A and B are shown apart, each in its own frame.
Chain A
Amino acid sequence: MDGIGWNYSEKVKEHFFNPKNILTIPEEEYKADGIGYVGSPACGDMMKIYIKVKDNRIVDLKWKTFGCASAIGSTSMLSEMVTRNGGLTLEDAYKITPEDIIKELGGLPSNKIHCSVLGDKALREAINDYYRKTGQIDKIPSKEAKVVCECLNVTDEDIRMEVLEGVKDFETLQKRTKVATGCGKCKENVIKLLNEFVSQYYSCDVYTGEEKK
């Protein structure tokens, strides 16, 4: 194990050691209005988020995870961000990004960013689930992602997520997404996009969520 990546902020530590809003009762008893479920234990992390909705606001959020300290810390943080002051509206909750969470946490070591992306993903899944259950499918935002590799249907959003999960070079990206293995025309564009995301997320050791000036 190497020594880098252990400089967690006090906030991360606090949320890791005393995680907030964990679901402690059986799922059936909680009676969530929406449940979101992402990741898999095979990948090393998995997240499940349960929400209760009242008057278009998330009044309660509970969660469970198979994940590392960053995953636990960032999801605990997310649960507070969503439910404080009477709860965010579904629309605002939908817009939360890993960057927002990391900012609240006071930064995460850059090699741990990929551990923090599951919380907000699971939250959006939970909101989608709520929309589905309440017959508001039209409210589920269609993906705005742009297809960059037409042969394999890989989007810019897919590439961004891969980078957030730790991919930094084209070879690994290709192995994981099969991008540019069809006609190969998009390769140059993909590399450009990849480099942009890598420099956005990994150009300093502690990523704070702040935009680069």
Chain B
Amino acid sequence: MIYLDNNATTPLHPEVKKKIISFLDKYGNPSSAHSIGREVRFYIEEARKEVASFFNCLPEEIIFTASGSEANNTILKSMVKCCSNSCSTESVHIISSSIEHPSVLNTLKCIEHQHVEVTYLPVDQYGMVNPDDVRKAIKKNTSLISIMFANNEIGTIQPIEEIGKIAKEYNIPFHTDAVQAVGKVKIDLSKMDFIDYLTLSGHKIYAPKGIGALYKRNGTKPICPLINGGHQEFSLRAGTENTIGIVALGEAFRQLKIEMDEEVARIKYLRDKLENGLKSKIENIKINGHPVHRLPGTLNVSFKNIEGESILLRLDLYGIAVSTGSACSTGSLEPSHVISAICDIPEIAHSSVRFSLGRENTEDEIDRTIDTVKEVVEFLRKISPIV
């Protein structure tokens, strides 16, 4: 199988896998005071240091969660009134974009019913938010600006430095969902002091599913936990820690520090090769996303006149795993909200396919993919009534 769906999830890094196996019998509860608990506590704190060192931030600024979605929910839902004093008591305004991940968009939709007003900024044809729009959208009661670092479907990297600086100028906290950017774009949080909160996820960086984290800069407004209970994670996320997941995440970041620069360059080379190969061998295709400011491993292509799910399933038959933004694959009537936001021709979204590369992909796989995609597209175009 040629796996080109690394934006959906990644295989375990072999070193992460080793780490998990070596840790399976360490069953202690890190909150226990005895040696069995203390040992596990030691390892999860080491993992926290590993994550912090990757981002050049403080370990206590890393709060482990069960997923990126949970981290996004935590920060967004802390904007609404609840039991805790730390929560806002007045009606608040949040600025976000129309192409955020569903864990941001659907959470925003939910809190809109709880005295939160949300401005969803549009994006340009490449999927980019205009920082001027952010400035124009700011109101007296704007309490948070949340813009994703890079988009999962088309890979467009947002001008978050400009946006973050505007937020800082107005003293508004800035959150970025960096699930897709981590490990692909350099993020140094000591330099990027405009980022107050950042979301990350383990399974996009060769750690297992079920572990993510929220970065919360020291000195920012206290947040209310999404999950109440014990004092775990600085009382910001209750529940006995996912110890194996945390240790695995720490190892994934340790590996990223070692190989990220080299891997990013290699993956970008392969992605460019795939893009150029498809462009030169197949007519009538459209690349979705920004030509330059795009994640190194992401290639989203619309193949005119044919439908995405058909392409996906035929590629699957030939042993190539990709994803699509067509309505038929989402189980809804609407195609991808991201492609729809960058192009008002619905068939572009219905015929879009995402190739997302990762550390296991080889040049030979890319060569085979180009030939196979050509064959599949030719077949489906032959049966298409559109000329």
* Chain A interface (Cβ < 8 Å from any Cβ of B): 1-2, 4-5, 16-17, 19, 22, 24, 37, 41-48, 64-72, 111-112, 114-115, 165-167, 172
Residues B347 and A48 in contact, CB atoms below 8 Å apart: no
A22→B309 contact, CB < 8 A: no
In Å, the complex CA distance between A5 and B328 comes to 10
One of B173-181, B238-246, B378-386 at the interface: B378-386
Return chain A residues, CB-CB under 8 Å to B131.
Answer: none
Which listed residue, B317, B346, B383, B384, touches A44 by the CB 8 Å rule?
B346
Find out whether the CB atom of B310 lies under 8 angstroms from the CB atom of A72.
yes
Query: Are A46 and B385 in contact, with the CB atoms below 8 A?
Result: yes
Once A44-B350, A66-B305, A166-B332 are accepted as A-B contacts, the answer to whether A1 and B383 lie under 8 Å apart by CB is no
A206 to chain B, nearest CB (A): 14
Instruction: Please name all residues of chain A whose beta carbon is closer than 8 Å to the beta carbon of B306 when the two chains form the complex.
Output: 66
Q: In the complex, are the beta carbons of A68 and B331 less than 8 A apart?
A: no
Q: Contacts A42-B346, A69-B328, A72-B383 known; list 4 others, CB within 8 Å.
A: A42-B350, A64-B383, A112-B328, A167-B333
Q: List 26 A-B contacts (CB under 8 A).
A: A1-B323, A1-B329, A2-B330, A4-B331, A5-B331, A19-B383, A24-B382, A41-B347, A41-B350, A42-B345, A42-B350, A44-B327, A44-B335, A44-B347, A44-B350, A46-B385, A64-B383, A66-B307, A67-B328, A68-B307, A68-B310, A69-B309, A69-B313, A70-B328, A114-B333, A115-B328
Q: Are A17 and B330 in contact (CB under 8 A)?
A: no
Select from chain B the residue with minimum beta-carbon distance to A4: B331
With A and B bound together, what is the CA distance between A157 and B30 in angstroms?
62
B326: interface (CB < 8 Å): yes
Indicate with 1 or 0, residue by residue over B305-346, a CB within 8 angstroms of chain A CB atoms. Answer: 111111001100100000110111111110100000000011
A9 CB, nearest partner CB in chain B, Å: 14
B385 to A64, Cβ gap below 8 A? yes
| Closest CB pairs A-B (n = 7) | A68-B328, A48-B385, A68-B309, A64-B385, A41-B347, A42-B346, A44-B327
Report B-chain residues with C-beta under 8 Å of the C-beta of A167: 333
B contact residues around A22 at 8 Å (CB) = 382-383
Name A's interface SS. mixed
Contact A46 B386 (CB under 8 A): yes
B369-387 contact mask (Cβ, 8 Å, vs A): 1 or 0: 0000000000000111110
Q: Which residues of B contact A72 (CB under 8 A)?
A: 310, 383
Contacts of B313 in A (CB 8 A): 16, 69
Chain B, Cβ-Cβ closest to A165: B333
A17 to chain B, nearest CB (A): 6
State in angstroms the CA–CA spacing of A115 and B313 once bound together: 15
Most buried by B among A22, A44, A112: A44
Residues of B within 8 A of A37 (CB): 385
Q: Taking the nearest CB of chain A, how far is it from the CB of B283, in angstroms?
A: 17
Chain A residue with Cβ nearest B384: A66
CA distance A19 to B317 in the complex (A): 14
Question: How far apart are the CA atoms of A77 and B382 in the complex, in Å?
Answer: 18
Q: Of the candidates A2, A46, A47, which one forms a contact with B331 in the assembled complex, judged by CB atoms under 8 Å apart?
A: A2
Structural contact, A64 and B384, CB atoms closer than 8 A: yes
Chain B contacts for A16, CB-based, 8 A: 310, 313
Give the CA-CA distance A37 to B384 in the complex, in Å: 12
A70 to B313 CA separation, bound complex (whole angstroms): 11
Contacts of A1 in B (CB 8 A): 8, 323-324, 329-330
Question: Which of A5, A16, A66, A112 lies at the interface centre, i.e. has the most chain B CB atoms within 10 A of its CB?
Answer: A66
**Contact partners of B309 in chain A: CB under 8 A:** 68-69
Q: How distant is the Cα of A77 from the Cα of B271 in the complex, in angstroms?
A: 38
B385 CB contacts on chain A under 8 angstroms: 37, 46-48, 64-66
Bound form: Cα–Cα A165–B333 in Å: 8
Bound Cα distance A44, B307 (Å): 7
Q: CA–CA, A74 to B323, complex, Å?
A: 23
Contact between chains at B386 and A66 (CB < 8 Å): yes
Closest residue on chain B to residue A39 by CB atoms: B385
0/1 per residue, B1-24, Cβ < 8 Å to A?
Answer: 000000010000000000000000
- Chain A contacts for B347, CB-based, 8 A: 41-42, 44, 66
Question: Shortest Cβ distance from A201 into chain B, in angstroms?
Answer: 14
Q: Complex: how many Å from CA A115 to CA B309? A: 11
